[in-house]
């Protein structure tokens, strides 16, 4: 309000306030929904020693995620006397907040599925080993793509170009490397950030498709085949 939106009405402010408040309350509810049952199971002796380590690590991630959220929001409230741009949080902190949320979600899901579903005992063939390596590589690529999306959001980079597959009239825009030093462009130039996100998104879909096609050549359990097919479907929808 002080730096840009002088004409904001009270109802408009309340909308933003309640969005943030609801997000905080939801995050705290998630923390309680995890920590309270975990403490109960621990006290009743229902957790094995390895599982206790997982529970403590996930509990630490839950707390760390909340701390990162506070640290991210704080960057959007800092006074910047030399800037007349739209107030926004740091894209670096936003990416860290999203990245830790993805790690927390994935670790929770992996732990839960490991307890619910028995592990398949498959012969360690060369093809299966390659499939596992491809799956791990695809996971890393998808994670990187999601993080690049946080930089797009943090810089409002989606507003720079809204045509696809070209960016405006060009395949490679003129201002792709406008910042100096060059490395700054990857994290702070809205054009470069959007360009990278497009490339990573296309690469992710390609990698998922290749993983699916490769998996069709290997005899796999029904559950594994369903997982790979679901991954392809979600990638296409995304």
* Averaged pLDDT of the chain: 90
In the prediction, which pLDDT does 84 show? Answer: 54
In the prediction, which pLDDT does 81 show? Answer: 58
Tell me the average pLDDT across 204-231: 94
Tell me the average pLDDT across 102-116: 93
Alpha-carbon torsion, ordered 7, 12, 17, 22, to 10 deg? -160
Task: Determine if residue 125 is left, alpha or beta; phi over 0 gives left, psi from -120 to 50 gives alpha, anything else beta.
Answer: beta
In the prediction, which pLDDT does 67 show? Answer: 92
Asked if pLDDT for residue 83 goes beyond 60, the answer is: no
Banded model confidence at residue 175, pLDDT cuts 50, 70, 90: confident
- The fraction of the chain above a pLDDT of 90, given in percent, is 66
Tell me the average pLDDT across 186-198: 94
Contacts of 31 (CB under 8 A, 6+ apart): 62, 63, 66
In the prediction, which pLDDT does 207 show? Answer: 97
Banded model confidence at residue 123, pLDDT cuts 50, 70, 90: confident
Give the Cα separation of 31 and 35 in Å (integer): 6
Banded model confidence at residue 2, pLDDT cuts 50, 70, 90: confident
In the prediction, which pLDDT does 6 show? Answer: 85
Asked if pLDDT for residue 45 goes beyond 60, the answer is: yes
Give the Cα separation of 211 and 231 in Å (integer): 10
Banded model confidence at residue 85, pLDDT cuts 50, 70, 90: low
Give the Cα separation of 72 and 62 in Å (integer): 15
* pTM for this entry: 0.84
DSSP code at position 219: -
Asked if pLDDT for residue 42 goes beyond 60, the answer is: yes
In the prediction, which pLDDT does 229 show? Answer: 96
Banded model confidence at residue 119, pLDDT cuts 50, 70, 90: confident
In the prediction, which pLDDT does 5 show? Answer: 79
Tell me the average pLDDT across 178-195: 92
DSSP code at position 167: B
pLDDT: is 199 or 79 the higher one?
Answer: 199
Calculate the alpha carbon distances from 234 to 62, 209, 216 in Å.
Answer: 26, 11, 18
């Amino acid at each position: 309000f002080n730096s840009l939106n002088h004409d904001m009405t009270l109802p408009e402010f309340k909308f933003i306030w309640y969005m943030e408040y609801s997000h905080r309350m939801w995050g705290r509810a998630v923390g309680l929904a995890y920590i309270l049952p975990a403490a109960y199971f621990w006290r009743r002796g229902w957790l094995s020693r390895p599982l206790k380590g997982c529970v403590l690590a996930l509990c630490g991630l839950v707390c760390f995620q909340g701390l990162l959220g506070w640290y991210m929001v704080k960057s959007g409230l800092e006074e910047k006397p030399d800037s007349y741009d739209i107030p926004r949080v740091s894209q670096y902190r936003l990416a860290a907040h999203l990245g830790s949320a993805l790690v927390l979600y994935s670790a929770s899901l992996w732990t839960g599925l490991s307890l619910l579903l028995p592990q398949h005992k498959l012969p360690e063939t060369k093809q299966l080993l390659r499939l596992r390596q491809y799956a791990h590589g695809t996971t890393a690529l998808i994670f990187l793509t999601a993080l690049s999306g946080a930089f797009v959001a943090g810089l409002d980079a989606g507003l720079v170009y809204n045509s696809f597959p070209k960016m405006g009239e060009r395949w490679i825009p003129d201002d792709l490397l406008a910042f100096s030093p060059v490395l700054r462009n990857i994290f702070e130039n809205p054009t470069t950030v959007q360009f990278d996100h497009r490339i990573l998104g296309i690469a992710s879909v390609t990698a998922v498709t290749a993983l699916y096609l490769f998996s069709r050549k290997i005899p796999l359990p029904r559950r594994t085949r369903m997982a790979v097919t679901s991954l392809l479907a979600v990638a296409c929808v995304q």
